[in-house]
Structure formats: structure tokens, C-alpha cells
């Protein structure tokens, strides 16, 4: 995860150069992907609302500035943009990155961005399902016609056509969202965790059941888990964060691997090159044991 808000910055508001510098450092260190969140205002727990950068503007710049890493959203709330516009944006950013985008989508949750800017916060799951079908169809280069509850399209296509099928990631935890992910997505994310726990195991089992209900094999869905990793010297550690040495982190990563998790999306605290180095050291310790 890359810095996007006031809380993510080095004692000040995060700027584009902070985002770019950490992305390039992560890429040069050998990490596989970089991710941004998508909000119009940041609402950290137990604190006043904070400033945050606009996700898709930053994502476009990251697509042009990096060369190897995947770039993605964790996640874009479909309520903030018309689904046809969102599909168009995703196809454009994927072209800029030469096919490195992972489009992470979610239903969002009620908050100030809905209240301040007038976005509808009712029927979130129904809105998400409709938008997911539209975005997915357009990115598959299909002609989409729908007279839904929230959007109407008639023989709509993306022109120019997407250069490839952009992979869709859905962040989901509840039963209905898991079924939608199993039905439409290439990847699924659940977050945030420290060490693997019973909550994660229950989520993995629930996704397995959702895939079976949709007639899909477990191996057809890329399982991606968000993990919070905090430097022991940084601050008070919450219950759902991991803190420890790189060696201990290597063991935790092994534990996720043993559960069949394909990829970890790591929220580092603080978001600094030193924290990236600790993560890379943990990965190196894993490799030295194999």
C-alpha cells in the first residue's frame, strides 16, 4: 500500500512525490505490486477527517512512472463514479501501464464522502452488483445493454476497445458480496489481518463455499489478503496488526502461504523505505529456507 492521506505522510500531507518515491523504491526492491486506496476524504478512527489524494489521478501517474510492478486499487468504490466511466478509466490506465492494472472494486461504506458530496448511500450491495456487471462487461469488450435500477445503457462499448481483459478484484466479506466475487471476479481480497486467525480461516472457508455454489474451482480465484505490518519502533500496535522482526514476519508469511493465500497486500506502518527493507528482509529469509 502506498501513502495517500495526511496520516500516511511524514508528519505532513502526502504529496505525489512521496507516493512515487515509495512506489519506485518498492519496485527496485523486488516487490510485485503497489496499491492505493480510493476515497474523497480520509476518516481515520477516532480522529477528525483528513485530506487525501485523488486515486485515479495518482494511479495514472503511477502507471506511467513504474515499469514492472502491478498497480491497483484497494479498492475503488463503485458509487463514486458512473460504471461506464470507471471502465473507460480502467482501460486507459491499463494501456498506460502496458497491461499491469488490477482493478479492485468494492461497495464502500457510509461516511463523510457520501454526506459531503451527495453520493447515494442506500442499496449499496444492489448498486455494486449492477455496477460490477457493467464494468466487467465493458472491460471484456462486450456491448452492454441494461435497464437496471440505477443505470441504463444501450449497446454501450468501450472505444477504443481494452487492450486486454483487465483482471477484476473484489473486496468482500459478507455472504452476498462473496457470491458476487465468486460469480464475477478474477481475484478476491479480504483485509485487514495481522497473523492468520480464525476470522481469516472462516473467510477462506466461506469463499470456498461461494465458489462451489458458482461451480468454480478454488484455483480459479486468486486469493489476496491485506496484512497490516507495523515497525516495532513505530507506535502502539492494534490487535489486527503484526509487529516483530523480519524473521518472525517470514514465518507469518509462511503461515499465509500454507492456507493457500496467493498474494499479500501489505499495509506498512510507517510507509517508508525502511519498512520496505524489513519486508524484503523477511522475503529473503523465506527464500533462504526453501
Per-residue pLDDT of 40-95, as tens digits, reads: 999 988 889 999 999 999 999 999 999 999 999 999 999 999 999 999 999 999 99
How far apart (Å, rounded) are the C-alpha atoms in residues 223 and 240?
Answer: 19
Q: What is the pLDDT of residues 102-123, one digit of tens each?
A: 999 999 988 899 999 999 989 9
Residue ranges, CATH 3.20.20.30, the chain: 1-171, 172-290
- Show Cβ contacts of residue 154 under 8 Å, excluding neighbours closer than 6 positions: 145
pTM score over 0.85 = yes
Residue with cell 441494461: 146
- Short-list 109, 76, 106, CA closest to 180: 106
Q: CATH top-level class for 1-171?
A: alpha beta
pLDDT value for 263 = 98
Q: Please give the Cα distance from 267 to 270 (Å, whole number).
A: 9
Which of the residues in the chain have pLDDT under 50?
none
Per-residue pLDDT, 181: 98
Residue that is written with C-alpha cell 491497483 in the block: 72
Task: Determine the distance from the C-alpha atom of residue 75 to the mean position of all C-alpha atoms in its chain, rounded to a whole number.
Answer: 4
Per-residue pLDDT at 235? 66
| SS percent in the chain: helix, strand, coil, step 5 | 40, 20, 40
Report helix, strand or coil for 37: coil
Please tell me the class of the 172-290 domain.
alpha beta
Amino acid at each position: 500500500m502506498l501513502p495517500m492521506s495526511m496520516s500516511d505522510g511524514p508528519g505532513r500531507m502526502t504529496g505525489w512525490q512521496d507516493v512515487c518515491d515509495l512506489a519506485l523504491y518498492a519496485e527496485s526492491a523486488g516487490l510485485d505490486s503497489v496499491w492505493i486506496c480510493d476515497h474523497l476524504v480520509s476518516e481515520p478512527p477516532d480522529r477528525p477527517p483528513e485530506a487525501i489524494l485523488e486515486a485515479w489521478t495518482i494511479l495514472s501517474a503511477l502507471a506511467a512512472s513504474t515499469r514492472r510492478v502491478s498497480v491497483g486499487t484497494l479498492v475503488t468504490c463503485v458509487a463514486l463514479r458512473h460504471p461506464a466511466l470507471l471502465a473507460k478509466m480502467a482501460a486507459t490506465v491499463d494501456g498506460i501501464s502496458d497491461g499491469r492494472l488490477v482493478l479492485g472494486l468494492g461497495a464502500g461504506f457510509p461516511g463523510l464522502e457520501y454526506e459531503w458530496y451527495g453520493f447515494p448511500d442506500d442499496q449499496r450491495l444492489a448498486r455494486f452488483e449492477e455496477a460490477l456487471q457493467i464494468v466487467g462487461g465493458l472491460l471484456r469488450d462486450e456491448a452492454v445493454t441494461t435497464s437496471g435500477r440505477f443505470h441504463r445503457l444501450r449497446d454501450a462499448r468501450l472505444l477504443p476497445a481494452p487492450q486486454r481483459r483487465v483482471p477484476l478484484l473484489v473486496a468482500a466479506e459478507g455472504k452476498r458480496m462473496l457470491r458476487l466475487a465468486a460469480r464475477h471476479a478474477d481475484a478476491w481480497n479480504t483485509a485487514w489481518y495481522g497473523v492468520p486467525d480464525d476470522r481469516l480461516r472462516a473467510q477462506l472457508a466461506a469463499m470456498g463455499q461461494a465458489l462451489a455454489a458458482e461451480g468454480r474451482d478454488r484455483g480459479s480465484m486468486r486469493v489476496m489478503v491485506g496484512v497490516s505490518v507495523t515497525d516495532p519502533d513505530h507506535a502502539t500496535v492494534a490487535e489486527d496488526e503484526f509487529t516483530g522482526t523480519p524473521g518472525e514476519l517470514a514465518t507469518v508469511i509462511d503461515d499465509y502461504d500454507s492456507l493457500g493465500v496467493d498474494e499479500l497486500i501489505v499495509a506498512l506502518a510507517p510507509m517508508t523505505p525502511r519498512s520496505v527493507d524489513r519486508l524484503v528482509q523477511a522475503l529473503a529469509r523465506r527464500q533462504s529456507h526453501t
